[in-house]
Structures are given as structure tokens and as C-alpha cells.
Chain A
Amino acid sequence: MKTTETILLDHGSGGRASQELIKNIFLPYLANPVLACLEDSALVDTGAGLLAFTTDSYVVDPIFFPGGDIGELAINGTINDLAMRGAKPLCLSLALILEEGFPLEDLKRVILSIQGACRKADVPVVTGDTKVVPKGKGDKIFINTSGIGLVDSGIHISARNARPGDAVILSGSMGDHGITILAQRAGISLQGNLRSDTMALHRLVQKMLAAAPGAVHTLRDPTRGGVATSLNEIADAAQVAVELDESEIPVKPGVAAACEILGMDPLYLANEGKCLALVAKEHAGRVLDLIRSLPEGADAAVIGRVSEGPAGRVLLKTAAGGSRIVQSLTGEPLPRIC
């Protein structure tokens, strides 16, 4: 099989190319039982409790966009990765790689956003690092944030725990962040009501877990690769099938229109303020009501269910009444004309 000899942009897309990189280059040399779980956060047993540990890097371009900026993304994204294992976030690290020539005004603006996001979430940055690379060797600013959190005993949230019968809940509208970034690209310039949905979800998660202990089996924030890729990963990990109902998936009208114009499928677009929750069916109604009662989850909906089906298969019942398979994202979503 012909393999690419260089890193391609597709390798960073969160889809199959990224998975191949992990499988072929990282796991063979780095694997241990904790890493091999490949969840949003790793759970490390300290002997005195479970510690959640995660890291994420942010390279989005443009760095300022409607609804947020790279700084907010970096804080909320890492808090969410902790929250997706049911952890209470404790603190974050913040590492910056700055390109020579990056305006100090812009750096200050990003730092102010980070301050705002940390305060809003009540999670501090406790350690950091800064490096500068020569002009042309970076792209304005790259950010890495790592986070640690504590998982209460009795909480077991993992992709592997998804069970047939579980309801698949999405906490709000799909595709907002991904289409907003794409629309900012030079050469597209769509004006309108598109905004990133970047938001920290740890409080939402804690309330869900308090309301229905043991009922929440899996949590995942569908960032790069979108809902489609996240559900395929869960279906694979748990060896179950997932059925989705297209009519139930909340998509803002502006997002849907922008997707039609550019030829994008919102199932593959990044979400930065939403989570998928796979919940035992007898508790799903109550959990949904709870999520909807919170500002972070006003548009939440049950979008599907876990079924016995062929393991790893995600099937979409279309709005037209037919059905089709939904695969993981292959490479970077690009606007098309055909």
C-alpha cells in the first residue's frame, strides 16, 4: 500500500489520517495501558485517587473569530477534555510558541481572553512557558494547554462503556465552530450570524453526574472530525452500533445554509462548546431535561441511540426517510464546487 512520506495537513484534521498517525507512529513506540485507551483525558491512579490528565495544542487560523479566539479555545478545550472523563478540573498549564513579529497588542488580547475564560470557568493557569521562533517558522501564535483534574470514586466514564439501548444526546447545535472558522478563510467571506460555540462544559457535566449517577456511560466533545468521527470512535471502542436521526440533530439555520453554499457536511465540522452524552435509556429523559435547563445546553436533543447492530457502524436515518452509513472524517474538510 502506498503510504505518504511526509506529514500532510490531513494528519491534523482529527479524522482517519490522524488515527493512522497514532496507530503507525506513536502507539508502537509509546504505548502503555493508560495511553492505549486513547480517550479525551488519561486517568492515572495515584494510589490516593484518580487523576485526569490531558494536553491539547491550538493552532487555529484566524486567531480571532466571531464568538472567541485562540486563547478562549485553549482554556475551554482542555477543561472539556477533563470534563469528558467526569473529572473536576483543578488547574492548567499554558505554553506559548510565538512567531517573531507577532504584535504585542494581539498577544495581550489573547492573554486577556485567557484570563476571562479562566475566571469564568474558575480554573486557574498555574504554570507556563514561552518560546519565540523566527519569523516564518511559526504562524503568529501556537498554544498548548495541559490540564489535571480529579475524578470522584465511582465515576466510570469511557467510550468503552457505551451500551446498546443508550440514548445519544448532543448538548446543542452542531457545526457552529467549524463553519465559522471556514467562513473566515480568505476567499470565502461569508457574512452573517456565524459564531464559534467555544464554552467550558465542566459544570454541565458535574450536574449531569449528580442528577443521574451511573447513568452517563460515555462523554465526548466532538471537536476536530465532528460528531461523525466521535461517534465512529465510540462505536469502535465499545464494539456497538449507533443509529442517528437526522431530523433530530440541531443545526442552526445559518450554519446549515453556509454548509450548503460551501458543500460541507455539518456532521464533520468541529464543535467547541458541545458534548455527546451516551446515557442509559431509562434516565435519558431526565438527563436531557437537566441539560436543557442550563444555559450551556438550551438546544440539547436526543439525536440517536446505541444499538446491537454491526460493531463500529454508524447509520443515519436521513430527513428524507432513507438511510446511509456515516464514516469517520478522512481528511481536512474543504469547500467544493461539485
Chain B
Amino acid sequence: MKYVSEFRDKKFIAPLVDELRRTIDRPLRIMEVCGTHTMAVFRHGLRSLMPEGLELISGPGCPVCVTSSAHIDGFIDVAGRDGVRVAIFGDLYRVPGSHGSLARAQSMGAQVEVVYSPMDALTLAGRYPQQVTVFLSVGFETTIPLVAATILEAERLQVDNFAVFPAHKIMPPALTALLGDPELRLDGLLCPGHVSTIIGAAAYEPLAASYSLSCVVAGFEPVDILQALIMLARQAREGRAEVENAYGRAVSWQGNLRAQKLMNDVFEPVDCQWRGLGTIPASGMAIRDHFSCFDAEKRFGINLAETPEPQGCLCGQILQGRKTPADCPLFAGRCTPLNPVGPCMVSSEGTCAAHYRFGRG
């Protein structure tokens, strides 16, 4: 596949690994912000190739993992309402709230449809005019503009049986909240490639400046990840703390301005609860008043109650990079992909799921 296969070419990988090994001159702690990076590292077996001294910590960039239990419960509540059909990304299907998942709700009669695109949810609304189709929306800045475009299309088509229940989150405020923790000693951030396609590499400059942190924007193929790690290692070696872009073919300095505008036209920042991280100011994206007819929370009168985390579950600390799955007493015992306790195990890119699927044995 063009522009994918070349960046997986084995003939590039061994020399890049060697270069990485030569460049690392002391132990380095790098946070992979994005869950897709965690999955890519495991999927391509890169962990087994990493040189000594490089510690890769998984961060909170797994939108499903950081969706609060209250939001999942809210999703299940809407799914159970009469005359409602919910549409979701596959990632959300098995995530547990405080009493079950959407998979379980479906088995009890809720109409849950997995879609590939938010626009497909709008198409569903057209196909089932007697029902309200609600798109249960999770995602970061890669996905939020898509939902914005879908709402605008719904408005243009004057669709009255479509709504969105957003649990959107944006990255920079969460990173700021994480980096404020003095215990989290990091040498660098592997920044999320496709979020950066939207928000631009410049978005990380305040972080680099305030926290003296090296930030490199990385793509998701093995070559992309290795190139970015080499750049982070070089910055550490040379005592630099800058933003660099290792994914130039997909990321520009200012990002996709059109997508940013769409996102901000339809959504506005609100304080938001992140599972395991608590409430972070201006870190969620809610539907603006102008589009409130598409706001599922208003339409169905949903009040998000707060629920405590399950006992023993360390998802919160794992998301903050303070603990690893192996540290969690529930990992691979009480908590497995089949019977997950917390979302880190269920989400396809959750840290615990990745470790369970790829790293055990």
C-alpha cells in the first residue's frame, strides 16, 4: 500500500534501530501520548527491538480509556430509551461502565449499531425515520471535526431524528495537567500523528517551553516511530527541548485550519472528567447552543452522575504513566479482555489490552 509499505520496509528498520541505540547515551523516559502508537509498537514487534535504556510509557491518548464511567453509563441509558437506536465506533462496544457495557445492553434489547464513520450514523437516521439515531461520540481532535461536519450536514438536510452524545476530549489541556505532576519525570513526548494533522505541530510549543520537554510529532509506521525516537534521543543528548515534526508528509506546522474551524464552529471547550485523571478544565468539547437540537444530553435530559472507580483498578495511574499493567493486582487475573474491569483492558489500544494481547507469555 503506497506510503504505508515503504515506511514498514524491513531494510530501513535495522539501520534505524542501530542509529537509535548509538544515539541513546543515558536512560530515557518517553511518553507515547497516543494509544495508536502503543498498539503500533506492539503490533510490529518493535518492543523486542528497542535498545536498552529506552523506557516507553503509555499516556492518556486512548479516547475510550479516558471516557468516564459516568459517560458510559449515560451512553447505556440513551441506548435503552424507547425509539432510540445508537450508533458507535467499534472501540466503544465492550467498554464497561459501572454496570455493564453497550455489548451487554445490546444483548438486553438495545439497538446498537457499529459504524465506520459518523456520517454513516446520519445515514442510519435517514433509513429509520421512526427512530432517533444517536451517535455516541468519543474521540480526540482527529475525529471531532468529522462529527462537526456531520452535524452541519444534518442541519443542512434538516434531519430531525439525529443527535450526538459527545464525550470528546482535546489533548493539549490533558498533557498540561499530566506534565504538572513533578513525579512524572519525562524526557520527551512522542506526539500523536493524526491529532497533529488537525491541530498542527506548533500546538506543542507551549509544552516544550513550559516544561523543557522534547516533543516530536510521529507517524504510526515502524519507520516513523523509530525516526521520531531517534530525534527525541538526539534532543536529549544535545540538551534541547524543542518541537520537531517527524511526520512531515501528514503534519504541517499550523495543521488543518479548515478542520479546526469546523470543530470550533460546532463545539466549544468545557471542563471534562477524564477517567483516572479527574476533571481537567477546558478539555472536553461540547455542542454549542446553536446546534442544541442535535445535543443528545439536552434532548434526552441526561444528567451524568459520578461513579467511583472499581476497586483495585489501576487504569487511572496507568493512564498517567505512573504504573504499568504488571503493577495492577487485577491484570490478567480478574481483569482480562473477556471480562474487563477497566477500559484500559477493553479498548483495542488500551495499555493493558496491548500488553495482554502482545506482550504476555
Q: Which residues of A contact B120 (CB under 8 A)?
A: 186-188
Assess the B356–A322 pair: CB atoms within 8 A. Answer: no
Nearest residue, chain B, Cβ from A310? B361
Assess the A335–B114 pair: CB atoms within 8 A. Answer: yes
Interface: A160 (CB within 8 A): no
Interface string of B347-361 (1 = CB under 8 A from A): 111000000111111
Assess the A324–B358 pair: CB atoms within 8 A. Answer: yes
Interface: B305 (CB within 8 A): no
Interface: A48 (CB within 8 A): no
Q: Which residues of A contact B46 (CB under 8 A)?
A: 320, 322
Q: Contact partner of B48 among A16, A313, A324, CB < 8 A?
A: A324
Nearest residue, chain A, Cβ from B112? A9
Chain A: minimal CB distance from B244 (Å)? 23
Known: A317-B45, A323-B48. A338 touches B347 (CB 8 A): yes
Binds A, one of B74-82, B85-93, B255-263: B85-93
Interface string of A156-169 (1 = CB under 8 A from B): 00000000000000
What is the CA–CA distance of A186 and B139 in the complex, to the nearest angstrom? 22
Interface: A126 (CB within 8 A): no
Q: Which residues of B contact A247 (CB under 8 A)?
A: 10
Give the secondary structure class of A's interface: loop
Nearest residue, chain B, Cβ from A11? B107
Assess the B45–A17 pair: CB atoms within 8 A. Answer: no
Interface string of A307-325 (1 = CB under 8 A from B): 0001001011111111111
Chain B: minimal CB distance from A243 (Å)? 12
Chain A: minimal CB distance from B111 (Å)? 13
What is the CA–CA distance of A20 and B339 in the complex, to the nearest angstrom? 11
Assess the B361–A319 pair: CB atoms within 8 A. Answer: no
What is the CA–CA distance of A322 and B89 in the complex, to the nearest angstrom? 30
Chain B: minimal CB distance from A336 (Å)? 5
What is the CA–CA distance of A170 and B103 in the complex, to the nearest angstrom? 33
Binds B, one of A101-109, A131-139, A253-261: A253-261
Q: Could you list some 7 contacts between A and B, CB below 8 A?
A: A16-B338, A318-B44, A321-B45, A327-B356, A327-B360, A336-B348, A338-B63
Q: Which residues of A contact B (CB under 8 A)?
A: 1-4, 6-10, 16-17, 20, 185-188, 247, 253, 256-257, 260, 262-263, 265, 310, 313, 315-325, 327, 330-331, 334-338
Known: A253-B1, A324-B359; 8 extra A-B contacts, CB below 8 A, are A186-B113, A187-B87, A322-B48, A324-B358, A330-B337, A330-B338, A334-B93, A335-B90
Q: Which 9 A-B pairs have the closest CB atoms?
A: A322-B45, A334-B90, A187-B120, A318-B45, A330-B337, A322-B48, A324-B45, A320-B44, A187-B115
